[in-house]
Amino acid sequence: MAAKDVKLLGASASAYVNRVQFALNLKSIKYEFLQEDVFNKSELLLKSNPVHKKIPVLIHAHKPICESLVIVQYVDEFWSDAPTILPSHPYERANARFWAAYLDDKWFPLFRELRNAKDEESKAGVLGKIFEGLTLLEGVFVKSSNGKGYFGGETIGYLDIVLGSFLGWVKAAEIMAQLKILDETKTPALVDWAERFVSHEAITGIIPEPEELIAVLKDFQAKAAAAAASK
């Protein structure tokens, strides 16, 4: 499907931008990607998202849609042809939204805590919470997939997109922390799912390599420190 006048404001290293790219690719929607610098935001971004002033922003027919989860739902609803992203049943849809909010609000922020941990005891405590979350998600996957390949069943769905967007940063965290987070001995179903997800034709080539993400993180931290020092 071709879509006219679809633009995505974002940065390649952003997991939240990546999930919008996944959704657009799954729907075979052509779009223009406009790379943003978070330290030098474009006038288009500031105009399109005056409340939060952040990426991603999808501009469709000159109308901006902000916040990654909102954008993914918009993509699914506007381009309603298969494959669908959100579950069709109201309960399953609500459940998917619940776990998506958990991932964004509770689980993924733990990786920032892990980076900022001051000692081994603090690091171990954060890792325990990360592994606890993965155990929960393993159970969610087994239940929602019904023995098929994805959280969405036979095809990539909403929770696949949300959790899948973090896989690059999980790999980066494994390198930085020198340990295995997605471990086949603890969460074998999620490990198999992750390999399947990143190999999908709609996903391949979007998630940056972990070494690239580490470099981006270091550059971001240096710029943020310099900006704070200049105030």
Amino acid at 123: K
**4 pLDDT higher than 80:** no
pLDDT of res. 155: 96
The verdict on 60 and 107 lying in the same domain is no
The verdict on 100 and 199 lying in the same domain is yes
**CATH code for the domain in which residue 72 is found:** 3.40.30.10
The verdict on 151 and 47 lying in the same domain is no
Final residue of a structural domain among 56, 78, 100: 78
Q: What is the pLDDT of residues 130-161, one digit of tens each?
A: 999 999 999 999 999 999 999 999 999 999 99
Q: Is 17 exposed, middle or buried (0-12, 13-18, 19+ CB in 10 A)?
A: buried
The verdict on 127 and 71 lying in the same domain is no
Q: Which residue has the higher pLDDT, 1 or 102?
A: 102
The verdict on 103 and 189 lying in the same domain is yes
Q: 156: left (phi > 0), else alpha (psi -120 to 50), else beta?
A: beta
pLDDT band at 230 (very low <50, low <70, confident <90, very high): confident
Rounded Cα distance between 8 and 20, Å, is 8
The verdict on 167 and 135 lying in the same domain is yes
pLDDT of res. 82: 86
Edge-to-edge strands of the sheet including 6-10? 32-35, 6-10, 57-60, 63-66
Q: What is the pLDDT of residues 182-226, one digit of tens each?
A: 999 999 999 999 999 999 999 999 999 999 999 999 999 998 888
The verdict on 43 and 117 lying in the same domain is no
CB atoms within 10 A of CB 211: 11
Q: What percent of the chain has pLDDT over 90?
A: 92
Q: Is residue 222 part of a domain?
A: no
Q: What is the pLDDT of residues 93-102, one digit of tens each?
A: 999 999 999 9
Range of the domain at 59: 6-78
Domain count, the chain: 2
**71 pLDDT higher than 70:** yes
**231 pLDDT higher than 80:** no
**1 pLDDT higher than 60:** no
Over residues 118-125, mean pLDDT: 94
The verdict on 12 and 104 lying in the same domain is no
What are φ and ψ of residue 32, in 5° steps? -100, 125
* Among 23, 57, 24, 21, CA closest to 42: 57
Rounded Cα distance between 144 and 126, Å, is 27
Q: Is residue 231 part of a domain?
A: no
